[in-house]
Amino acid sequence: MKNKLEKLRADFLQELGQVKNSEYLRELELKYLSRKGELSLIMGELKDLSVDLRREVGELANKIKVELQTRFEEVSRQLAEGSIKKELIDVTLPGETLADGHLSPITLVQNELEDLFNSLGFMILDGPELESDYYNFTALNMPPTHPARDMQDTFYLDHKNKEGQYDLVMRTQTSPVQIRSMQKYGAPLKAIIPGRCFRCEATDARHEHTFYQVEGIMIDKNINFSHLKSLLEIVGQRLFGAGTKLRMRPKFFPFVEPGNNGEYTCFLCQGKGCRVCKYTGWLEIVGAGLIHPDVLRAGGIDPEVYSGLAFGFGLNRLAMLKYNISDVRLFNSGDLKFLEQF
C-alpha cells in the first residue's frame, strides 16, 4: 500500500509538470484528488489494515495528500498568473483579426490626381524638401529683395553661402521643381510634382506650417492659355463632378505671366452660395499661369521656341473640400479618431 501511494505521488507530480492549460489541470484534479479520485480510493482501503499499519500508512497518505494539494494549488496559481507558458497553439480559438491600415485623405486625393495626369501623359516627379534659396525664390523671379518673398515666409537653415547669405530653406512651394525638371528633361515636358511644403505661418483653420501641393507644368511649342484652362477644367470635373465649372481671375505670381487663381463651382451648393464658399458659389483652389520667359531661361529652355503653362494645387485644401474637413491642422494632429474616418 505504501508502494501504491508512492507511485500515485510520482505519477501525479509527473503529470502536473506537463500542465499547460486549465482544462488539463482540472482533469488531474478529478483523476487524483477528487472524492472519487485515486487518492481517495487508496485511503478508503486503510480500514482493512491492522491498527498499527493503519496508523503508519495513514500518516504517509495524509502527508502525500497535503503535498499533492499544495503542489496542485501552486500550479493552479501560476497558470492564472500566466507564469506557466500556455500551449502555443489552441486550434479551437477563433483567429485574431488585425486592424487594416488605410490611406490618409491627402494620399487619396493625390492618387486621384496622379491617375488623371498619368492618363494624360504627364510624368510624376519629385524634388527636395530642403531647397536652395536660389531654386525656391531667385530662379522663380524672386531675387533676395523681392517683396513677393514676404508672402511665403519660411524656415531658413543656419547655413550661409560664400557671400554670407542664408542659402538653404525648407521649400515654401513645389514650384522650384519646375526649374529642376526643366534642367533635367528639357522641352517638351509634361509633369506633375506632388510634395510637402513649409511656411512660417500663424496657423489657423486654413493655414498650416506643413502642407502639401501638387505642381503641374506643360512645356511645348505654342502652349497657350486655352491649354491651361481646359486642363484645369478636366481636373475640376474629375474631382468634383461633371457639372463643375471653372473661372479664372487675375493674380500675381512672379513666375507666371499672366498669373491667375482658378476657382471651381462650389461642390457643396453647386454654385448657389453656402458657408463653405463664403456665399460666392466659387471655391479658390489653384494658382496658375503661363510660365514667365525668365523662368524658362533659368531652366535652360529658349522662350523664343517654347512656351509653357504651370499650376499649383493645395492638396490639403482639395482634401478638405472633398471630405468636408473643417480644419487643416487635423491632418498633422495624428488623431486616430480623425484619420480612421477615411
Piece of 89-97, 124-132, 158-166, 281-289 that binds ligand FA5 (CB under 6 A):
281-289
Binding mask 175-214 for ligand FA5 (x = CB under 6 A): x-----------------------x-x-----xx--x-x-
Report in angstroms how near the CB of residue 306 gets to ligand FA5 at its nearest.
16
Q: Does 253 bind ligand FA5 (CB under 6 A)?
A: yes
Count of residues touching ligand FA5 (by CB under 6 A): 22
Q: Does 254 bind ligand FA5 (CB under 6 A)?
A: no
Which residues, in sequence order, are bridge partners of residue 309? 218, 290
Q: Quick one: which of 142, 298, 317, 319 contacts ligand FA5 (CB under 6 A)? A: 317
Closest to ligand FA5 by CB, 38 or 201: 201
Q: Does 68 bind ligand FA5 (CB under 6 A)?
A: no
Q: Quick one: which of 68, 277, 288, 301 contacts ligand FA5 (CB under 6 A)? A: 288
Q: Quick one: which of 37, 299, 308, 314 contacts ligand FA5 (CB under 6 A)? A: 314
Return residues touching ligand FA5 (CB under 6 A). 173, 175, 199, 201, 207-208, 211, 213, 215, 253, 256, 259, 287-289, 310-312, 314, 316-317, 328
